[in-house]
Amino acid sequence: MKDWIWTRERKAAPARETLSRDQIVAAAIAILDSEGVTGLSMRKLATRLGSGATSLYWYVDTKDDLIDLVIDEVWGEIDIPEPELAGWRAGALLFGHSLRSAVLRHPWLPEVMYTRPSIGPNAMSMGSRGLVLFGAAGFSEHEIDLAMGSVMSYVLGTVSAEVATREMVRKSGRTEENWVTDMLEQAQAVAGDYPEMQKSVRRRTSVDLDSGLTENFVFGLDALLDGLQTRVKKK
């Protein structure tokens, strides 16, 4: 079985080395945010840090290790309040929006987060705080995991699709407004035999991309939390 960076003993860098793992992770995230996963290389990272590529290997053994580190760094950005401060429902709402915002800040995340287990310290902290929050709702021990997992699955699935849509717009070289207008015009052109789809397209003509994606996310998250709250009340 593969050993992950979190289960390996950390190497000590030579005294002459002036880098830190935190510096390396921050620089890697900056490259990923601007250039995506394909734009990240150990050589490019070393250049950004003004260091030799070999120096990085005192801190990370492989690019895979580096990806593990940057993913866990993003998990550290997620806000999950204590249930005593916000209540479980408001806390879960904040959690969902914070998770979405983090992925939108780091749109490369969906490409890599499903390829490895999230077992770093920030992932463990996020999971622990989330389980406390959903536990405060009154779910059984088994359902606590399912409830938190449902919210995370909804948020990550929805925002991954959102990231893909935004990337499609970016690659088109057009403004969001022009792209949306063109898509709606094309949809209207082929919806002639489907009156309900015609109505749907017309309803979307006055909504910009950001507002539409956000409204879709908010509605779905609220509906999911409504359903979870109903399950708690039945107990």
Which uninterrupted H or E stretch holds 154?
helix 141-172
**70 shares a domain with 11:** yes
Q: Counting every residue, how long is the chain?
A: 235
CATH number at residue 221: 1.10.357.10
Helix axes 88-105, 121-135, angle to 10 degrees: 150
36, 43, 182 from 175: Cα distances, Å: 21, 34, 11
Q: Is it the case that residue 22 has pLDDT exceeding 90?
A: yes
**140 shares a domain with 117:** yes
180 occurs within a structural domain: no
Q: Is it the case that residue 57 has pLDDT exceeding 90?
A: no
Determine contact, residues 49/19, Cβ cutoff 8 Å.
yes
> Of 74, 90, 120, at which residue does a domain stop?
74
User: Both ends of the chain: CA-CA distance in Å?
Assistant: 41
- Residue 25's domain spans which residues? 5-74
> Of 74, 89, 113, at which residue does a domain stop?
74
Report the share of the chain in percent with pLDDT over 70: 95
29 occurs within a structural domain: yes
Mean pLDDT for 161-182 is 90
182 occurs within a structural domain: no
**115 shares a domain with 97:** yes
Q: What is the mean pLDDT of the chain?
A: 91
Of residues 52 and 74, which shows the higher confidence score?
74
Q: What is the pLDDT of residue 226?
A: 96
Please tell me the distance from the alpha carbon of residue 76 to that of residue 24, in angstroms, as a whole number. Answer: 16
Helix axes 209-233, 141-172, angle to 10 degrees: 170
Cα dihedral 33, 36, 42, 45 sign = negative
**217 shares a domain with 133:** yes
Q: Give the distance from CA 7 to its chain's centroid.
A: 24
Mean pLDDT for 44-69 is 90
Burial class of residue 92 (count of CB atoms within 10 Å of its CB; 0-12, 13-18, 19+): buried
| Closest by Cα among 119, 111, 115, 108 to 4 | 119
Q: Is it the case that residue 152 has pLDDT exceeding 80?
A: yes
48, 116, 193, 201 from 196: Cα distances, Å: 53, 42, 9, 9
Q: Is it the case that residue 1 has pLDDT exceeding 80?
A: no
pTM of the model: 0.90
**120 shares a domain with 65:** no
Please tell me the distance from the alpha carbon of residue 72 to that of residue 25, in angstroms, as a whole number. Answer: 10
CATH number at residue 58: 1.10.10.60
> Of 23, 44, 74, at which residue does a domain stop?
74
Residue range 65-121, pLDDT digits in tens: 999 999 999 999 999 999 998 899 999 999 999 999 999 999 999 999 999 999 999
**211 shares a domain with 106:** yes
**62 shares a domain with 116:** no
195 occurs within a structural domain: no
Q: What is the pLDDT of residue 197?
A: 86
Q: What is the pLDDT of residue 19?
A: 86
Q: Worst-scoring range by mean pLDDT, 7-16, 18-27, 41-50, 200-209?
A: 7-16
**133 shares a domain with 211:** yes
Residue range 117-140, pLDDT digits in tens: 999 999 999 999 999 999 999 998
**138 shares a domain with 60:** no
198 occurs within a structural domain: no
Give how many domains the chain has, as a whole number: 2
Q: Is it the case that residue 13 has pLDDT exceeding 70?
A: no
190 occurs within a structural domain: no
**39 shares a domain with 16:** yes
Q: What is the pLDDT of residue 206?
A: 74
187 occurs within a structural domain: no
**33 shares a domain with 91:** no
Q: What is the pLDDT of residue 66?
A: 95
**132 shares a domain with 118:** yes
